[in-house]
């Protein structure tokens, strides 16, 4: 009888060890101070399987469109197959769901679960060819004016960070990764995301919210009659030079410009000179049909080989990039009428320049680079 009991006990231990590989005994131990989840085997009494630390904000604000909404670091202490399970997404509203920092642990109950395509990506580096730029200057023999342009003077290799898609989540002991969650962010998104890693549902994390102010460099409302126009985002305030205030704006007040020499001057700031991409937007109302700029950072009125300008030419929107040896300009296709409000946007995405009219693309994008130098900015 004793021998049978001993055999049964050994079989039970072996069976328990086999089932453990199926995650039923994995538990999470969460540290809210470091936002780190430790995955532990054996109902919390066994060995550590992995640590996962959220490095993005608990309440991340992100721009609309495809992009990264979260990031975490992960260290794996044992070989593991298919560590990444499902991802739950919940609209955040006035319900009693989890609020991204633990909440009541019910994972968005009452906030509306939904599905959306997403990708897990890991950060690595890639050897990339980078151009070397130098400034060359020459003097006009007639006027004595000096003109400088940026030219390519060779190239070099750099190891630059890139994100690569995770196609399977089979990890090896000793793996250390930085992982990002990528998806399409929709306007008005307010989303709680709850992942399941290593068989543990992590409802201590986190949310993202679509926010138009993400990466916003400056914002001038122009809705107050004052000689000093406040930048609502940073400290790039503008000084009114000739323009006159009117209470009849699109959103509150606005400023009238005579199309000749009225402007708002804004001092140069480093934030305007270190852009890898940009967008410029404005509400405009035209009294006439003359050409004029809306936003300008040109070197001067005659040289277009540096910086950028956004405006109206031949009753169409244009965007111009000075590329060092000349300029690239894209012109919209729609003819603007007078006495009409328009919402206009100029975009350089790092590769192409393009213009939008009332939310719709209004051109065929063209390839462009831009050379950014210190220069007064004008509205």
Question: How is residue 254 written in tokens?
Answer: 């606005």
3-state secondary structure 255-281: EECCCCCCEEEECCCHHHCCCCCEEEE
pLDDT tens-digit profile of 88-142? 999 987 433 333 333 333 344 446 899 999 999 999 999 988 878 676 776 777 7
- 70 forms beta bridges with 181
For the whole model, what pTM was predicted?
0.62
**Per-residue confidence (pLDDT) for residue 106, from 0 to 100:** 38
- Reply yes or no on whether the pLDDT at 164 is more than 90: yes
State the pLDDT confidence band at 57, using cuts at 50, 70 and 90: very high
- CA dist., res. 145 & res. 299, Å (int): 13
**Per-residue confidence (pLDDT) for residue 143, from 0 to 100:** 72
State the pLDDT confidence band at 367, using cuts at 50, 70 and 90: confident
- Cβ neighbors of 144 (< 8 A, separation 6 or more) are none
Cβ distance 369 to 350 under 8 Å? no
- CA dist., res. 77 & res. 223, Å (int): 58
- Bigger pLDDT: 242 vs 311: 311
**Domains, the chain, ordered by start:** 23-210 (no CATH), 228-378 (2.60.120.200)
Cβ distance 86 to 198 under 8 Å? no
- 334 by Cβ neighbours in 10 Å (0-12 / 13-18 / 19+) ranks as middle
* Average pLDDT along the chain: 80
- CA dist., res. 245 & res. 198, Å (int): 61
């Amino acid at each position: 009888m004793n021998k049978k009991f001993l055999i049964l006990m050994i079989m039970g231990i072996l069976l328990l060890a086999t089932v453990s590989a199926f995650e039923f005994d994995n538990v999470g131990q969460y540290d809210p101070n470091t936002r780190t989840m430790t995955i532990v085997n054996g109902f919390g009494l066994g060995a550590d399987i992995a640590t996962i630390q959220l490095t993005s904000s608990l309440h991340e604000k992100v721009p609309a469109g495809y992009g990264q909404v979260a990031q975490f670091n992960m260290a794996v202490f044992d070989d593991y197959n298919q560590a990444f399970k499902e991802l739950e997404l919940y609209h955040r509203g006035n319900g009693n769901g989890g609020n991204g920092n633990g909440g009541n642990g019910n994972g968005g109950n009452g906030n509306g679960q939904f599905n959306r395509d997403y990708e897990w990506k890991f950060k690595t580096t890639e050897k990339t060819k980078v151009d070397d730029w130098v400034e060359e200057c020459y003097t006009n023999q007639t006027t004595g004016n000096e003109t400088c342009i940026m030219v390519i003077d060779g190239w070099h290799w750099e190891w630059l960070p890139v994100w690569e898609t995770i196609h399977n989540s089979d990890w090896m002991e000793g793996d250390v990764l930085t992982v990002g969650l990528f998806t399409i962010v929709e306007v008005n998104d307010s989303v709680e995301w709850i992942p399941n890693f290593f068989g543990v549902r992590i409802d201590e994390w986190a949310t993202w919210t679509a926010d138009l102010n993400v990466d916003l460099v400056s914002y001038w409302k122009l809705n107050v009659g004052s000689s000093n126009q406040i930048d609502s985002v940073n400290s790039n305030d503008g000084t009114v030079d000739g323009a006159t205030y009117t209470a009849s704006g699109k959103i509150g007040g606005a400023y009238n410009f005579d199309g000749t020499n009225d402007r708002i001057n804004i001092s140069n700031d480093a934030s305007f000179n270190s852009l890898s991409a940009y967008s410029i937007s404005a509400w405009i109302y035209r009294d006439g049909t003359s050409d004029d700029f809306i936003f300008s950072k040109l070197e001067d009125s005659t040289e277009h080989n540096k910086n950028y300008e956004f405006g109206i030419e031949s009753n169409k929107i244009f965007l111009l990039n000075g590329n060092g040896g000349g300029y690239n300009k894209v012109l919209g296709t729609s003819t603007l009428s007078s006495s009409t409000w328009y919402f206009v946007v100029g975009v350089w995405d790092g590769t192409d320049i393009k213009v939008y009219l009332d939310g719709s693309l209004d051109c065929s994008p063209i390839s462009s680079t831009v050379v950014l130098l210190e220069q007064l900015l004008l509205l």
